[in-house]
Structure 1
Amino acid sequence: MSNAKTRIMYIEDKSEGLNGPARIGRVTFSKSGRSLRYRGRTFLRVGSGYKYNHVAEDNGDRFWISGPRKDGADRLYASALPVEIDADVESEYWRDIRGIGQPA
């Protein structure tokens, strides 16, 4: 899978409600683009979910997965819940997506 396309994405767990745990991390896309992998899990794209666009293949949990926004306002609904950033993408995220140096 060395030729597989990867991208930094916003990943929010919607299985418990409209606001859930969220992360910024690198996903790997399948050849067809209908699924992606993140942290050893496979997420299948769905066409018409209510406030979600992927389901976890292993247990059916619902997720919102999208490209991260330059302004950092990735959640569909405003929330004080933190958005974690995976350490392996942190510098690239702040530099290339947010357009600023990594915060202290």
Structure 2
Amino acid sequence: MAERIMYIQLKTGYNTDRGPAWISRVRFSKSWRTAYFRGLALRQVSGLFDANFVDPETGDEYWLSGPKRDRTDGRYSSEQPSVDADVIEEYEAFLAGAPLPDRENG
């Protein structure tokens, strides 16, 4: 399974870019259509207003994307995501200019 450090934000129940957000390690299925995050199996969907993954069990919508070096992950909010302890070193190195693991070529 592919694994990436990602920006994840819960969209359901919150105004635009006001939901809780995390920088965390996410595992992806071989097809990249299922993302595994904190015990959730999120399915990729298209056509939603502000989300690209859905929890099929609850219907909660999430936005997943690669983190941005300039820390503008929340497009309309300056609130910063919480960073999981197991990715802090890699994320801080990324912010300082290093590539993310498994993203050396883009």
Q: TM-score range by the shorter chain?
A: 0.7 to 0.9
The two structures, once aligned, show a CA RMSD in angstroms of: 1.2
Match of 1:6 in 2: 3
Q: Which runs of 5+ in 2 are unaligned?
A: 98-106
Post-superposition offset of 1:90: 0.4
Distance 2:67 2:57 in 1: 25
Q: 1: CA distance between counterparts of 2:56 and 2:38?
A: 13
1:52-67 matches, cutoff 5 A: 52-67=51-66
The list of structure 1 runs, each at least 4 consecutive aligned residues, that deviate by more than 6 angstroms after superposition, is none
Q: 2:92 aligns with which of 90, 94, 97?
A: 94
Query: What is the aligned-residue identity percentage?
Result: 40
What is the count of residue pairs matched by the alignment? Answer: 95
2: CA distance, partners of 1:31 / 1:82 = 30
Aligned-partner residue type, residue 88 of structure 2: E
Q: TM-score, normalised by structure 1?
A: 0.85
Whichever residue aligns with residue 74 of structure 2, its letter is R
Query: How many angstroms does 1:16 deviate by?
Result: 1.1
Report the TM-score, using the length of structure 2 for normalisation. Answer: 0.84
- 2:67 and 2:39 mapped to 1: Cα distance? 21
Partner-residue secondary structure (3-state), 2:25: strand
Q: For 1:26-45, what aligned pairs fall within 5 Å after superposition? A: 26-45=25-44
The alpha carbon displacement at 1:76 in A equals 2.2
CA contact (8 A) 2:71 2:80 kept: no
Q: What letter corresponds to residue 6 of structure 1 in structure 2?
A: E
